[in-house]
Chain A
């Protein structure tokens, strides 16, 4: 597998928009061509080589691995719309990492800022630290958010994760989010997304959920009144066939959207 290593030389004063850092753009380019790629810095354009040391060898898109070292909390849009290959980020990363990605894998060994994996269409995003708000959410005004793919966050995530996520039974697409804990409005306007939380979540989980599955292995600070208790279960089966063992109380909802609904919220008993 071909590997390219980028190392941040200096902290940018303003956010750097680096949507070119993706296996799709790097594939089959020479190191000099990669160094000459344009990044957006405020209203200016800068060269990738001005901010990053570039080493390694390129190859075909699906066999390309990009490793980035340094504190990238001011570098946005890494891996935007990528379709294949792999990115490993060793450090914190800025907003919109892996947004609208279709395939491949991104690993962040650190924390991610807001909009990580927004409107994901496929592939896998793994974050070992915490993530900001709007993880895997739809962008403003979009009614179809995350459609497929998996996001795994070890730590906690912020508010309004998986906003407007859409599954498709016919196309066998099941957007999934695993996280260690979450803020308020987890899975708001959920249309078939699956969310599994290891720890506690804040208020209004599953607000306006039309259908979908949310499993919480911890506490919910305030359950919405429109969720009704169905019973207790000792195992939850997710749409992708995965089974989660443990004692859960099963709630149906959100009943403020539909009187009869197969939306489900499981909270650890």
Chain B
């Protein structure tokens, strides 16, 4: 007779998106050490937990590329090879870090400093423009609980939470009942500003279909109308001025409003200037009512990466240690421009898959030079790596800290054991640092 032992872990934090849901229940088959059921999570979060089960895509041993083929090796050999590559570089790139926990990110900063390399996280192709704008004009923001309890006007601008942050609507922004919003969805007015009729737009009270790449002009017109300036033109960004005036009235007359913005603003033309305008608008709206703004961060711990990098170096991303002290300049030290100009001689990618997201030209240059990945799964990046160091998955197979999109730190849980011998991201980076120091002759 087969005896099946099942353990249920409660209040698990989901390590997938920036919403960082903290109410998951996960059933583990203890005999096989596998996830068999995930409750409360969205489809994406559930899939992430199942991805920790053994499969052909999961690495279970460190690999080294020899004659074009990956070969399984011992941890000592793999770490030694990786350290050998890194210790002899002139301009190494350390990139990723957003899908692992804060302690490992801290070790990443330490390694970058020892190597005198360039350190970047995925914010540089995601919400980096948000950080630039925040440095220019500040940011009036709050934690998500405030929005849940108080907001009666919710604007999703260039973001589509139904697909990207599926439980955001149910936990914080749209359907949830709050202390002052007893009737949930009925107590909130939801507006979506997006060129596409997204699924979020379909369940909103108002959808403003702005022309693609013309959000800046719309912000600009709203800000001018808010100052009671008459505009010379009849239409802005494909929206009649009369409709913009209606929107301004709605915004001015709410009790507590919030703008949730996403990649539709940060990664369309005007980039950080869109966010600059969005933040300025939010600030100016506080002359009329209470208004706040929050970025819909993607990876579950990209906020953490920014926070950890900032408390270690003073800067959130795109950091260059080549002169021994940290310097910051997105566009000069960020991963994509560096790769486009082919200015690196080796790279270490941690918990990220640039080969699927970066421009093709930059990926070609990434593969030209020695590539080390710390990555649990087979991805387009790890397939071309010279050294693969597979870790235990943070938030599933090891503990750690992660920052939610509103900068609230939550403790990740360990729900199951990692497959044999796998080290955590933190342990891998720690051993790599030791080995690199040894090779560089430092103590």
Contacts and interface: CB of A to CB of B under 8 A. Distances in A.
A140 B328 contact: yes
Contacts of B273: 160, 185, 188, 204, 207
A224 B219 CA distance: 10
A204 B216 contact: yes
A226 B220 contact: yes
Contact of A228 (B223, B232, B331): B232
A42 B322 contact: yes
A40 B136 CA distance: 29
Contacts of B276: 208
Interface residues of B, number: 40
B306 to A, nearest CB: 14
A105 interface: no
A52 interface: no
B323 A40 contact: yes
A133 B331 contact: yes
A255 B229 contact: yes
Contacts of A143: 136
B233 A95 contact: no
A14 B90 contact: yes
Contacts of A257: 223
Interface string A15-45: 1010000000000000000000000111110
A255 B90 contact: no
Contact of B90 (A44, A207, A225): A44
A114 interface: yes
B311 to A, nearest CB: 17
A14 B224 contact: no
Interface string B72-89: 000000000000000001
B91 A43 contact: yes
Contacts of A258: 227
B223 A226 contact: yes
B217 interface: yes
A43 B323 CA distance: 6
B228 interface: yes
B280 interface: yes
B316 to A, nearest CB: 10
A222 interface: yes
B330 interface: yes
A207 B157 CA distance: 20
Nearest to B233: A225
A140 B330 contact: yes
Contact of B229 (A14, A189, A228): A228
A259 B332 contact: no
B216 A207 contact: yes
B270 A184 contact: yes
A114 B341 CA distance: 13
A228 B228 CA distance: 13
Contacts of A189: 136
Contact of A42 (B91, B277, B280, B329): B91
A139 interface: yes
What 10 A-B pairs are tightest by C-beta distance, nearest first? A43-B116, A42-B90, A256-B223, A42-B91, A226-B224, A141-B135, A255-B229, A225-B221, A259-B227, A255-B224
Interface of B: 89-91, 115-117, 132, 135-136, 216-217, 219-221, 223-224, 227-233, 236, 269-270, 273, 276-277, 280, 321-323, 328-332, 343, 345
Given A207-B273, A225-B231, 7 more contacts: A160-B273, A204-B220, A204-B273, A207-B216, A207-B220, A222-B217, A256-B277
16 contacts: A14-B343, A42-B90, A42-B116, A42-B345, A95-B332, A160-B273, A203-B216, A203-B217, A204-B273, A222-B217, A225-B221, A225-B233, A225-B236, A254-B220, A256-B227, A258-B227
